[in-house]
Structure 1
């Protein structure tokens, strides 16, 4: 694993996708959010404040589930794509006449102050990030000490059937490679998190037609591999793709519908108390020093 970003992700293509991804919550994202919300039942301490990172793409119904679980917790909504922010405000902002304004905390929009939230929720975002280490560092800064990260993303077995078809035909890769859950665990530790817990499951979806399959994939993401097809392929290529998908992916167990595997990775990790590395000369940031003093009960002056 590269120390900068996964070697099969084109950062320019990733930035273009991030700026143009459909401003709504795909069905698969909502389903994964529902399953990730189930995992919150094992968390004993309810957060006083939590952050939903890229809520529109991550799942607005998933947001409602977490909000219902922690109705009194302050929610900070971060939208890193400008075109998704008005959608989030429209969907999650409460008008003055709404009864919910008086029974639950109103969401705030924008980056949370450093160390201000006890939970950061990020659903189905990491696998499309060209700099996942940088993103993990942002999440680490937003969390308070003893706060925790809950995230999900796609794993390496995702669309393995499609990758096999492309390889058999001698075509360029069907998509960029997704990171293994063990590598995510290592990256969490490198980012300063502690006690990472990783698990995964596979979800098999079926599609009635090749076009339906391709439409669903286009909603979920795009091919960020640097060696992907460099230009448009034309109608004949698209027709050939449809024929091959119908032939290779038809599942007799599901009346000939086209089957595709999605590997879902779930991750959970805590932000531990900062530690000072002992050496001849040690440097401690002001924020870390304040955090350590607060933990020791010493008053900190600004």
Structure 2
């Protein structure tokens, strides 16, 4: 998870196209909302509630109502990757005048302009697999968190769309999606970025559709095919007809429903106190002293990494 040019990572041009599609969607994808619901159940493990939450890519995460219900006293800011999605979040966050008098209203930030060391919690639902440079995304999360702040995130794992990958490989059609990163490698990347005590686990979901058109339409709501090794250029109606036929033949069960597997990876980690470099003479800034004098960080009930398959 190091270089942005890694061929396993999504293509930035395809990711931009996916953002433009997301701008036209009336609401977040169903799968994003379902994963947000499942991830929100894990918030019961957090003992100290945050006062500022960053909902990373809020317009597509489908999480705001869940976060507001869990942390009614917190300010929940949105972070977006595009101007159009930022405008949508601003519209959604616009509160009545009487509510604005009660405290600082929520704000919307662009990903490259988030204030540093501010968030008590950073929530990133179904975001990391949409980063052309995952290491940069994690570094931004680390920078945005206050000391003792915690990160909660979800993303696709490598077994996602395994049936579709096998179909494309058999027909010589390139990749139907990028190679999603294994949860153990994500855990290593979190530590490398400076986060502490990462806990990773995963679950597999199987979604079904009545026909190929419904399946393809839902995949488009998830961002489309952002693989660098995807087909170049547009496909023809004849190619689509062949795809539909192959989907019916290889993915349909006895009940006629078409099914695909999704591996959902969940993770959380903390931002620890900065490490002081000890030398014969060590200079410590005032802000570092303040951070070191703070109470012990918020804690989470013990967890375990999921098993390696």
Same fold (TM over 0.5): yes
Question: Which residue of structure 2 aligns with residue 220 of structure 1?
Answer: 222
Establish whether residue 95 from structure 1 lines up as the match of residue 91 from structure 2: no
Establish whether residue 193 from structure 1 lines up as the match of residue 186 from structure 2: no
Q: 1:16 to 1:72 in 2, by over 3 A?
A: same
Question: Which residue of structure 1 aligns with residue 155 of structure 2?
Answer: 153
Establish whether residue 53 from structure 1 lines up as the match of residue 56 from structure 2: yes
Deviation string 1:238-285 (CA, Å, 9 cap, x unpaired) is: 000000000100012xx1100011111111000000113446998x8x
The Cα of 1:87 is off from its aligned counterpart by: 1.5
The Cα of 1:223 is off from its aligned counterpart by: 1.8
- Tell me, yes or no, if the aligned pair for 1:51 and 1:119 is still in contact at 8 Å: yes
Deviation string 1:186-235 (CA, Å, 9 cap, x unpaired) is: 00001100000001101100000001100100110122222211122211
Question: Which piece of structure 1 moves more, 235-244 or 86-95?
Answer: 86-95
Q: 1:135 to 1:14 in 2, by over 3 A?
A: farther
TM-score by length of 1: 0.88
Q: Secondary structure at the match of 1:77?
A: strand
Question: Which piece of structure 1 moves more, 161-170 or 187-196?
Answer: 161-170
Question: Matched residues in 2 for 1:156 and 1:249: separation?
Answer: 19
User: How do residues 138-177 of structure 1 correspond to structure 2 at under 5 angstroms?
Assistant: 138-177=140-179
Q: Which has the higher contact order (CA 8 A, sep 6+)?
A: 2
Q: 1:281 to 1:246 in 2, by over 3 A?
A: farther
Question: Which residue of structure 2 aligns with residue 20 of structure 1?
Answer: 20
Give the paired residue count.
288
The Cα of 1:166 is off from its aligned counterpart by: 0.7
Question: Which residue of structure 2 aligns with residue 109 of structure 1?
Answer: 108
Q: 1:117 to 1:93 in 2, by over 3 A?
A: same
TM-score by length of 2: 0.86
Residue segments in structure 1 that go unaligned for 5+ positions in a row? none
The Cα of 1:17 is off from its aligned counterpart by: 2.9
Deviation string 1:127-175 (CA, Å, 9 cap, x unpaired) is: 0100111111111111110100001011111111100111111221111
Structure 1 residue ranges (4+ consecutive) displaced by more than 4 angstroms after TM superposition: 3-6, 100-105, 278-282
